[in-house]
Each structure stands twice: as structure tokens, then as C-alpha cells.
Amino acid sequence: MVETYLGLPVCRLSLPCGDELKVALHGAHVVSWVSQDRERLFLSPRSVMDGHAAIRGGVPVCFPQFNQRGNLPKHGFARNLPWTVKATEPTAEGVTLTLILTDSPATREHWSVAFEAQLIIDLTPRSLMMTLKIINRDHQALEMTGALHTYLAVDDIAQTRLLGLQGQAEWDALTNAHSHAPNELSFEGEFDRVYAASARPLLLQDGANRLQIEQSETWLNSVVWNPGAEKCREMRDMPENGYEHMLCVEAAQVDSPVKVSPQATWQGWQRLTVLQDPRSQDRT
């Protein structure tokens, strides 16, 4: 179902259990995921929702470039262009929405590659799975980096912990230091680190709330980011205290480009699963 949300056309999906998802056609951008009566994604109230600028929060699709590691616009162009609904299909447990973006004059201004990108979103009770699928329609191989740049909502970043990366190679983008992840990550001040992805699920502990985070092995990295108070004040599309209520945990390909042969396909997914919410314990 397509409707208007914050001035943008969005697809709204809902389940009998009350879980609900909103996906903007601009950027194929998941802007809201309500599960167990709680918003699980952070969307900045100051985000520019004009159908041109990138949306701050939710789940931006970064393709075909991560951040500014190349000659394309920051995080690529996919998050700044309109996508098309290909299909909405019921499944045994929920519903699947597929959106597509193909090469066009707008993409060829930056990248002379024939391609089709699909974002396949599976909504089931207490779970959201997002799969980015890239089909090379060109006669030569393409190279890409990117991410599912997920902004997770937390009650208080100072009390938030992330577990599951222990022992993984860690690069601190703020200090350019290389190390290995500790048993749990906590957050005080700006935090921007790239990890070798773990085969284990990650666990976000947000007070009494627990969210499991998984990603496919086709994403080589996990990126964890919070702007902290000082940087947040410098961001025009964030409230001054926005950093207190969000943590980005991204499935990403940062430094090593994926190579996709002509007519071949690459795909990578991230799955979020609510493990516990005390406000739903008494639900019948």
C-alpha cells in the first residue's frame, strides 16, 4: 500500500500482530519499523524529506560506493534517487516487498554501468530482513562497495552495549588505530569503527531491550557509528541530542570492492530480530 508519510510516498506493510514497516520510494529507504509496539529505527526529526536529499536515519542504501571512498557522491547515488515497486507478496509468516533501481541518465552522470539493484524486504513477526541484490547488466565486470546503513533506536546511548564482535579486527576511523574488538562495545563520545564481520549474531542490549543483528557473509565488514555530542551539534539534519537515541550498526563492504561479472548477481542481507521487549511480556 502506497501512502504519504512526512511528505514522501511510502509503502506501508503491516502484520496481524501489529508489526508495521514504512519504506520511502525515495532511496528505497526504510524509515520506520515498529515491532512489539516499539519503534526500532531512529529517524531524525530534522531530516530533509524533500525527495532529493538523503534521509537521515532509518536504513539508507549505500550503493555503489561506501562513504567517500571513490569518485562518486558520498555513499553513492542509490539513496538519492526514486525506486520503483516491483512486487508485494504475502509469505507464510509475513510479507515481502521488492523495490528496484536501474541505470538511467541520472545514474550514468556518475557511473557508466548498466545494472539493476533490488532491495528485497521481508517483514515477519519481530523480524526485519533486508537484502540488497545487484545484477550486472553490462558487458564488463562492475566493482562496488556499499552498506545497509542501519540506524537503530536506543533509549540511552550511554547505557547501550553491543556484543558479538569480540576478537574481530577493528579499525578506529577517528584515530586510525588498528586493534581487536573487546567483549562488548560501549559508547561515550564519537564512535566510528570498522570491523571484520563476525559469523556470530550481534546482540544490541538497550536497557532491558535486546535486538539480534545478523548479516550475510557476503558483507565483509560491520560498521558501528555514533556521532557523539560535539559532532551531532554540527549536523544540520540532527537534533542536538539525537546522538543519545541512535546507534548505527551497518552491514558493509568498506575497502575491498565486490566484483560482479557481466550478467552475474551479488547479494547481501542484514536481519534484525527482536528478542525481548518488557512492554510486550504481558501480551496475550
For the residues of 171-239, what is the DSSP string, one character each? EETTTTEEEE--SEE---S-EEEEEEPPSSPEEEEETTEEEEEEE-TTS-EEEEEE-HHHHHHH-TTS-
- Cβ burial of 157 (10 Å; 0-12, 13-18, 19+) is buried
Q: Which long-range contacts (CB under 8 A, 24 or more apart) does 85-90 make?
A: 85/2, 85/11, 85/25, 86/118, 88/11, 88/13
Which of 170, 214, 244, 250 is flagged as catalytic?
Answer: 250
* 8 A C-beta contact, residue 103 and residue 115: yes
Catalytic annotation present for 250:
yes
Distance of CA 48 to the CA centre of its chain: 18
Cis peptide leading into residue 64 (ω within 30°): yes
Q: How far apart are CA 196 and CA 224, in angstroms?
A: 11
Q: How far apart are CA 15 and CA 89, in angstroms?
A: 13
**Buried b vs exposed e over 176-215: b needs ≥16 C-beta within 10 Å?**
eeeeebeeebebeebbbbbbebbeeebebbbeebebbbbb
Q: How far apart are CA 131 and CA 134, in angstroms?
A: 10
Which of 149, 170, 214, 244 is flagged as catalytic?
Answer: 149
Catalytic annotation present for 26:
no
Torsions phi, psi for 80 (to 5 deg): -110, 10
Give catalytic residues, as residue numbers. 149, 250
